[in-house]
Chain A
Amino acid sequence: MWFLVPAFAILLVFFVLPTLFNFVYAFTDWSGFKSEINPVGFDNFADLASSGTLFSALRITVVYAALVAVFQNVFGFALAVLLERDTRLNRVARVFFLIPVLMSALAVGYLFQALLKPDGGVNQLIGAVARQPFDHAWLADNTWTIVVVALIHSWKWMGLSMLIYLAGLKTIPEDVMEAARIDGASRWRTFWAVRSPLLAPAVTFNVATALLGSMNGFDIVQATTGGGPARTTEILNIFIYRTFGQGLFAQATTMSLVLFLLVALMAFPVIHRLRKREEIL
């Protein structure tokens, strides 16, 4: 068992200890303003609970995560179904949809920020098609910008969902499909009654990673809106980043602890439910 020690040492230093400190520092007054660190009990939690910003950031985070989970899976699933057959064209197309997954998230964010500016490429294209100037500020709408940003996030990651759905589709046994055909099921019926349920493990993985991954999102939102307009896209990590940057390290730590607990609280029921769906297999 001693050969496990190096692995555990790395796990301890880079994972266990930081997580532990996340719990410890949340109960202190650690800040950039002074060198001493004193315990303060639940003060940070009380402060956060009394100001509305934390709850609004939490709400935005959950909405954002839910939107990303839906979009990313719908896109990924649609792509997987469309590109399922192993033709040469499909193989090339799969590679192209996988490229955004490999791109830097910040690059994706800045790219879309430039495209979606009032005088950016998207509006110029719409203007050219409609033959009249079009200058909608896509990233400055208090209601819809979060949807736009969630779409960008989903665009970046949909290739990964596609890949996993594809793998799921490929593992469906041919004899099950054949039995369905012999029973006289239409293609539509086969799709919904046989293939979709058999994709349950892929759905579990995709929904869980999309939902929980986007709860920890930061880069794409930071690059596109920075939390604006009027903080309607200020997800918790942006809020934490801003607080940390002001030197309020303990408060930022408290928030990241809250985020950690929130992700854990959401992860268990979601994964449990999705796993339940798999039991029919």
Chain B
Amino acid sequence: MKRWTSTVAVAAALTLGLAACSDPTADRPADTTVSWPAPTGRLDGVSLTIWAAQNSNTVPKKVIEGFQAATGASVEVVTIPDPYEQGIQTKVATGDKPDLAFWQPTASMLTAINARSNLQPLTDAPWLPAMAPQLRDITGLLDDTRYAALVTSPAVEGVYYNKEVFAAHGVTVPPRNFDEMVALARQLKAKGVTPFYEMGADRWATQWWVQVQLADAAKSGLWERINTGQEKFTDPTVLGAIKKYKALVDEGLFNPDIKTAKFEDQGAALLDGKAAMVVQVNSFFGQLQAKADTATLDKRIGFFPISPSGNVGTFIPDQSNALVAFATGDAKREAAARQLLAYWMGPGYPDFLADRNTVSLQTAVPDPAGVPQALRDVHAALPASVGSMQAQAVANPDLFLNLADMITGTTTPEQAAKATQDQFAQLAKAAGAPGF
């Protein structure tokens, strides 16, 4: 009898445990209409949490100051250590959610955080009519529902170059396409200059070299074909770009310490003229801004987008560019989170831009006076740019990791392409993409 009761007790406890441990992020019905509170309405006693990464935790400083003063709410920024996206996904999977978070606003990353059940839709956001028309719907959407608010100009992959190095070697016009850039690199190398600088040890920038080569293919539907399994990373288009990158490294057009160089080394090298060019995104320029003032940057650093066919950029909105609002289940705080976004992109926007010294996304709000020219050039390249892998593919495989492995010499371009394709298929299958 005793034995019987204890068996029942254990079984009951197990069932209870199983129920308790089921997925905490169960689906909730998507709201059809979203109400938007007035940006400066009172919110006394409401406290909001924003998750930010190490490189974005100071972004909202000015906005929060203004919002707290205007509404009486209290807003706390919590820094989630790098790797940021992994940390967030893990926390959200275990049921931990902030009110707002910085998040890469691309479809693949919105899928990765299960936007449909975890995020608030930002339909009919009040700031949308004020946005520059060509930037309004550039990103932040998943299946035609808006989940992310773009606050700064999305990053563009392109070439940052040292103007003084170019001038010293008689280069007056930046290269007009990828082949011209390689030809210029060979000239510079012959004169004893390190043409390109890559950060093999920090790995993540390796993918830009492949992605800029794919810009034209992306324009003609490369990612749609990859998304549906009609084309693979191992097919000639992507594999060819990987091989070209490897060939340029083998040719000696990069810094000799490519395997051990880090992000900071890359910034210092370009700023000091130890290298002529760096293929990078906006966060690289952010590093330069931390190292030098606008006058120095305008004098030394330039930017041009690049693709095989011409000066076409590849845009890649990143985590520091946008915010998402979480569906926490607390209606009052959810509304307050939307209100903060409305304040940010509304009354608080000019102060925010001035504090961050960055370009405006709204036609009626002018750029602050101190924005460096290179950043304006990056922003100007945006409307003509094509989407990156992150922006257009249904899943975001670790292409950079496989390329970094290839640079250290442990894998071949073919192996790097295959590893990327395998992982892409695995992620696409998990995301429920048809054909995988």
B114-128 with Cβ < 8 A to chain A: 114, 117
Given A12-B13, A12-B17, A35-B26, A251–B86 Cβ distance below 8 Å? Answer: no
A178-222 with Cβ < 8 A to chain B: none
In the complex, the answer to whether A245 meets B114 with C-beta atoms within 8 Å is no
How far does the alpha carbon of A211 sit from the alpha carbon of B295 in the complex, in Å?
57
**Nearest chain-B residue to A29 (Cβ)?**
B430
- Contact partners of B408 in chain A: CB under 8 A: 142, 229-230
- Contact partners of A242 in chain B: CB under 8 A: 86, 398
In the complex, the answer to whether A32 meets B89 with C-beta atoms within 8 Å is yes
In the complex, the answer to whether B430 meets A31 with C-beta atoms within 8 Å is yes
Given A17-B17, A33-B112, A241-B86, A247–B201 Cβ distance below 8 Å? Answer: no
In the complex, the answer to whether B23 meets A37 with C-beta atoms within 8 Å is yes
Given A242-B86, A247-B112, A47–B426 Cβ distance below 8 Å? Answer: yes
In the complex, the answer to whether A230 meets B113 with C-beta atoms within 8 Å is no
Q: Identify B25's interface contact among A35, A244, A245, A251, CB under 8 A.
A: A35
Q: Identify A230's interface contact among B10, B14, B90, B410, CB under 8 A.
A: B410
- Contact partners of A13 in chain B: CB under 8 A: 17
18 A–B contacts from the bound complex (CB under 8 Å)? A12-B10, A17-B14, A17-B21, A32-B92, A33-B432, A34-B431, A35-B26, A35-B117, A118-B260, A140-B260, A142-B410, A230-B405, A230-B411, A245-B85, A245-B90, A246-B112, A247-B430, A250-B430
Count of A interface residues, CB-CB < 8 Å: 37
Is residue A96 contacting chain B, with contact meaning CB distance below 8 A? no
How far does the alpha carbon of A73 sit from the alpha carbon of B405 in the complex, in Å?
33
- Contact partners of A248 in chain B: CB under 8 A: 426-427, 430
- Contact partners of A137 in chain B: CB under 8 A: 259-260
Interface residues on B, range: 35 or more
CB < 8 Å A-B pair total:
97
Interface of B is mostly: helix
How far does the alpha carbon of A51 sit from the alpha carbon of B415 in the complex, in Å?
12
Interface of A is mostly: loop
In the complex, the answer to whether A245 meets B83 with C-beta atoms within 8 Å is yes
In the complex, the answer to whether A229 meets B426 with C-beta atoms within 8 Å is no
Given A140-B260, A249-B93, A30–B431 Cβ distance below 8 Å? Answer: no
How far does the alpha carbon of A12 sit from the alpha carbon of B114 in the complex, in Å?
31
**Nearest chain-B residue to A25 (Cβ)?**
B21
Is residue B287 contacting chain A, with contact meaning CB distance below 8 A? no
- Contact partners of B250 in chain A: CB under 8 A: none
Is residue A228 contacting chain B, with contact meaning CB distance below 8 A? yes
Is residue B163 contacting chain A, with contact meaning CB distance below 8 A? no
- Contact partners of B22 in chain A: CB under 8 A: 37
How far does the alpha carbon of A142 sit from the alpha carbon of B259 in the complex, in Å?
11
Hey, what's the 0/1 contact readout for B255-279 against A, CB within 8 Å counting as 1?
A: 0000110000000000000000000
How far does the alpha carbon of A244 sit from the alpha carbon of B91 in the complex, in Å?
11
**Nearest chain-A residue to B419 (Cβ)?**
A53
Hey, what's the 0/1 contact readout for A6-22 against B, CB within 8 Å counting as 1?
A: 00010011000100110
Is residue B351 contacting chain A, with contact meaning CB distance below 8 A? no
- Contact partners of B13 in chain A: CB under 8 A: 9, 12
A242-261 with Cβ < 8 A to chain B: 242, 244-251
In the complex, the answer to whether B201 meets A140 with C-beta atoms within 8 Å is yes
Q: Identify A140's interface contact among B87, B259, B410, CB under 8 A.
A: B259
Is residue B404 contacting chain A, with contact meaning CB distance below 8 A? yes
Q: How many whole Å from A240's CB to the nearest CB in chain B?
A: 11
